[in-house]
Amino acid sequence: MSFSISGKTAIVTGAANGVGLAIALHFAEQGANVVCADIDEARLIDEFGPNPESSNGGSADEDEARNIRIFAGDLRKKLTIKNLISTTVDAFDRVDILVNASRQVCASDPLDMSDNTIEVLLDQNLMTALRLSQAVAKRMIRQGESLPEDSDAPLGAIINLSSIAATRTQPGLMAFSIAAAALEQMTRALAVALASHRIRVNAISFGSVMSASLRDALRAHDDMRGMIIDGTPLGRIAGANEVAETARFLASEGAGFMTGQILTVDGGRTLVDAVGAPAH
């Protein structure tokens, strides 16, 4: 059983920061070709540098050997999705892995009928992932047409990033929780739809992971760190690379008989009560 993704080509969205960035870097370190997609072009360049074709540094051989490309654009737009896939195929000839790591987290008032947060989050966190998954799956299926008719070789893996908020929520996160729950059901439904094409679809549901946004929140709320740690049986906040390693497992042949699964990476947080149990 192999957990290698070396030589595979992956698209990672939300790759300019946080967990998406950690996954993109980890996949590249493991020998995969990675197209790092995000709407924030400046941050992509800061993290990965410019693409080889626009780079003035290094030799042609060094540029040719580079296994990372960046792609900036708004993936809520269908044309941008088409251009992302074209960019990936132009650079690396194929797509083997998709990681939908682009997502937005924000609070909202569940009783404010004029608040459109739920529409925004459903579009960003669910529909963008669905549209991109559909487009990438079609590309994977076309790639499989060149294989012998009796081949049972896998054609690809799709990984969605979800949250434990899909099952454990609070009023201020109602919109985010609904979008996360919908993403998990989409993962299961798409897994069944694509199983006959030998494309696996899974998701990672994670709790508190140290990222730039969480660091900012911890600075703003002195008691938040203690609350998170107290509510997590393993007693710590996860590193982004721990989610990245889970994503690599799901992308590898080691998870070859897994599809439609939601892997929880939360230090045991969903195993305990969110609030103190009554004494009686």
- The mean pLDDT of 246-265, rounded to a whole number, is 97
Is residue 277's pLDDT more than 60? no
Q: Which CATH architecture has domain 9-267?
A: 3-Layer(aba) Sandwich (3.40)
State the pTM of this model: 0.91
At residue 271 the predicted structure's pLDDT band, cuts being 50, 70 and 90, is very high
Confidence of residue 63 (pLDDT cuts 50, 70, 90): very low
Domain ranges of the chain: 9-267
Helix axes of 174-194 and 128-144: crossing angle, nearest 10 degrees: 20
Average pLDDT rounded to a whole number, residues 148-152: 83
* Alpha-carbon gap, residue 159 to 164, rounded angstroms: 16
CA distances from 46 to 24, 49, 136, 188 (A): 14, 6, 27, 36
Write down the pLDDT at residue 12: 98
Tokens of 82: 């088409």
Instruction: Tell me the C-alpha distance between 232 and 270, whole Å.
Output: 8
Mean pLDDT check: name the lowest of 52-66, 150-164, 174-188, 227-241: 52-66
Between 230 and 213, residue with greater pLDDT: 230
The pLDDT tens digits for 78-96 are 999 999 999 999 999 999 9
Res 65 pLDDT > 80: no
Could you tell me where the DSSP H helices lie in the chain?
18-29, 41-48, 60-65, 78-92, 117-121, 128-144, 174-194, 212-220, 224-230, 240-251
pLDDT-based confidence at 188, cuts 50/70/90? Answer: very high
